[in-house]
Amino acid sequence: MPSQNITMQDVAARAGVHQTTVSLALRNHPRIPAATRKRVQAVARELGYRPNPMVSALIATRHRRNAVRQAVIAYVTADPATQGRQTGTYMDLFTGARERAEELGYGLEHFWLGDPKLTRARFNQITATRNIHGLLLGPLTVQSRTLDVDWERFSVVAYGYGIAEPHVHRVYPDFYHAMLEAMRRCRAAGYTRVGTALEIKTDVKADHLWLAAYLAEQHLHEDDARIPPLLLQRWEPEAYAQWHRRHRPQVVIGLDAMHTRIREWQRGLVRQTLRPSKFVMLNVTQKRLTENVTGVVIDRRRVGVACIDQIVGMINRNEKGVPQKALHLLVENGWVEGADFSPGGGGASSDASLRASSDASPGASSGASSRTSPGASSGASSR
């Protein structure tokens, strides 16, 4: 059991270095050579040294007030389709991140790595000049294998699975339980034939978590109640029509873009005997809460806040580069129910706020939940 009387001065005496060196080494400060840092940290562990949490908090506060007031966190995108513009629902992510960064004394500046003039050398020069030590990797419309970045220079957090490598810390909505929530709500409302239609590229960006949850839930039911998922490279009306006629889903679960396409397709069913399906969205945004929609509510502003909290904590601890074990921080979703969701077409509207739906997901907690590390940030719990 570690001694409560071991001080930083004791560690310095045993390691044969100055107390300031110990302080910097224990915070992984780059001014101290890596070999010295490891040696000092080993001595601290051997002696059972534990930092005073109140002193650590005071040092972090002074650091933000004095040294980081003008510091900037880079919001990095590389999507050629958008040419760096943040539009639609992802603007909420950027806004939440920017507001939180400003609360903590940082600026948030957007860099589009798709610009041919922004080479790796140029990006390194700009970030060094502007005192940028943190990177928030924004969303991509199509998953990229990696980005040409000198990772060892930065504290990095990625939104979702926009890049496959390296394995950096990630923050994203709880995709898996979003699908489970939708499925359970449909079953509870009395629907027995529930299907999903997804574009493959979007499911890849969610690391197939939507698909995994759907298949897991379907496995709990009898064979005649199971509907295979419809996975499309792109929207194909004929493929959807064939799947719909064969399996006759009462409800189709998918993203808002798919909802728009299916709604247009269903307008052609007016004179046919095939009955249109209800639709449940996996990504209801704040702007759509005033519409008569049913689905999982995604709070990307909250996700942006969680991203910045992770990055600032890493900067304060001098954690840079690719971690040995990456953390995945999940932000819980909410639920909204349209007036025509129930099989009878009526049904009262559910709470559209972003609180967790504890009746559909026992043991859930509000805020964010980490599946890798307990105490990753405030409001986080380990699964």
In a domain, 250, yes or no: yes
Average pLDDT over residues 226-252: 93
In a domain, 9, yes or no: no
For 9-29, the pLDDT digits (tens) are: 888 888 898 888 888 888 777
Residue 278 β-bridge partners: 251
In a domain, 157, yes or no: no
Say which residue, 282 or 220, is predicted with more confidence: 282
In a domain, 29, yes or no: no
**For residue 310, what are its two tokens?**
């992770």
% pLDDT > 70, the chain? 78
Categorize the per-residue pLDDT at 70 as very low, low, confident or very high, splitting at 50, 70 and 90: low
Say which residue, 20 or 375, is predicted with more confidence: 20
Burial class (CB in 10 A: 0-12, 13-18, 19+), 9: exposed
In a domain, 230, yes or no: yes
Average pLDDT over residues 344-354: 41
Categorize the per-residue pLDDT at 68 as very low, low, confident or very high, splitting at 50, 70 and 90: very low
* Coil vs helix vs strand at 273: coil
Token pair 């389709």 is found at 81
**For residue 39, what are its two tokens?**
């040696």
Q: Residue 93's closest CA among 381, 286, 328? A: 286
CA distance to 31, 235, 283, per residue, from 22 (Å): 12, 59, 48
What span, in angstroms and rounded, lies between the C-alpha atoms of 284 and 181? 13
What span, in angstroms and rounded, lies between the C-alpha atoms of 48 and 260? 60
Average pLDDT over residues 289-316: 92
Say which residue, 227 or 5, is predicted with more confidence: 227
What span, in angstroms and rounded, lies between the C-alpha atoms of 100 and 117? 30
| Residues spanned by the domain of 291 | 175-298+332-370
Half-sphere exposure of 220 (CA within 13 A, CB side): 10
In a domain, 15, yes or no: no
In a domain, 208, yes or no: yes
Full DSSP string of 315-355: HHTT--SS-SS--EEEE--EEE--TT-STTS--PPPP-SS-
Q: For residue 286, what is the domain's CATH number?
A: 3.40.50.2300
In a domain, 336, yes or no: yes
Give the global pTM: 0.71
Element (H, E) at 110: strand 107-112
| CA 311, 313, 316, 322 torsion-angle sign | negative
Work out how many domains the chain is built from and give that number. 1
